[in-house]
Amino acid sequence: MARVLVVGAGLTGGACAALLRGAALGRIAVWDKARGAGGRMSTSRSARDAACTADLGAQYITLETERAGPRRSFYDELLSHGILKPLTAPVEGMVVKEGSCNYMAPQGISSVVKYYLKQSGADVFYEQLVTCISLRDGKWEVSRKMGPPEQFDIVILTIPVPQILQLQGDIVNKSPEIGPSVVVHTTVTFGSEHLDSDPAEVQQLILSHLERIVPSLPKPASIKCQKWRYSQVTKAVPNCLGQMILHTQPLLICGGDGFTHSNFDGCIDSALSLAEAVKSHL
Ligand SMILES: Cc1cc2nc3c(=O)[nH]c(=O)nc-3n(C[C@H](O)[C@H](O)[C@H](O)COP(=O)(O)OP(=O)(O)OC[C@H]3O[C@@H](n4cnc5c(N)ncnc54)[C@H](O)[C@@H]3O)c2cc1C
């Protein structure tokens, strides 16, 4: 039975592992460098009160009814389990396209990814930063920052493309006590201009601007300034329909929104395409 490693416990990795459940494979392992699941669909908890949460990356998911195709069942499943709920809160300036529905995750957007990881039955390990992937005796030897390297028959990379390129080796209940959370997203231009600036200075710039535009905002109990170095994909890898095979024997394949587009649908398309390619390789 082939031993499979999925690198990345974000939406693509989680959905792909779930799709591979039941395929003629051995146990599937998922490794992520972070301390929890979600990737860019992460939910942060206040250090003062874990019940106070904020989604720092993706905020809501948009179903385009006419273009949903095979993805429709993913929405239906998440809705039937209460993981997604229709987004009913008014969003200032939001343009809702005809035929589309927006959904949010009441338990935090990372609950979507956690749902798929649970469905997959995979062994999920966090704080596993993959640094190097090398061919050894017909298998992939995967090295991480901490712990010994391990060998796999199939490796599926679902990490952002710039992070794939950094790899070394042979690849070139609400209580009144809980206050609301406020998430401030900057523009892409601001983000790019301040990518390498001192985070404390950037945080102060954002806070000063926020105070000017919403002077009545109460002083926050805690603040977290999150920098997304690899945010949304502006130019996907061309002509590869959701995945790219880097090596066939043994199989090394990569996917993620860098091979489609940066939203729920892009990740599901990539996960479907990855699972299909892995199954036809068996
Ligand atoms: C600010 C922001 C707002 C967004 N808003 C929306 C929205 O409203 N709606 C929507 O549908 N989409 C939105 N998106 C896009 C959406 O979040 C992404 O398309 C999606 O989460 C990508 O999922 P992924 O699994 O492909 O990648 P990721 O979520 O990036 O997952 C990759 C995982 O790999 C891990 N990793 C990386 N390198 C290594 C390594 N070397 N070793 C081990 N692990 C590693 C990371 O820790 C991460 O958990 C937004 C994104 C951002 C950043």
Which structure tokens are listed for 162?
């710039």
90-105 pLDDT, tens digit each: 888 888 888 999 999 9
Q: Identify the weakest region by mean pLDDT among 120-129, 132-141, 155-164, 222-231.
A: 222-231
Beta carbons of 41 and 112 less than 8 angstroms apart: yes
Which structure tokens are listed for 59?
């905020």
Closest residue to atom 26 of ligand 1, CA basis: 256
What span, in angstroms and rounded, lies between the C-alpha atoms of 252 and 151? 12
What span, in angstroms and rounded, lies between the C-alpha atoms of 182 and 54? 8
Which residue would you say has higher pLDDT here, 216 or 64? Answer: 64
Reported pTM: 0.79
28-58 pLDDT, tens digit each: 999 999 999 999 999 999 989 888 999 999 9
Question: Does residue 34 have its Cβ closer than 6 Å to ligand 1?
Answer: yes
* 109: pLDDT strictly greater than 50: yes
- Residues 6+ positions from 79 with CB-CB distance below 8 Å: 85, 103
- DSSP code of residue 36: S
Question: Does residue 263 have its Cβ closer than 6 Å to ligand 1?
Answer: yes
SS3 (DSSP) at 179 = coil
Cα of 212 to ligand 1 centre, how many Å? Answer: 31
Question: Does residue 242 have its Cβ closer than 6 Å to ligand 1?
Answer: no
CA distances from 12 to 19, 200, 274 (A): 10, 32, 9
Question: Does residue 260 have its Cβ closer than 6 Å to ligand 1?
Answer: no
Question: Does residue 255 have its Cβ closer than 6 Å to ligand 1?
Answer: no
- Residues 6+ positions from 266 with CB-CB distance below 8 Å: 233, 257, 260
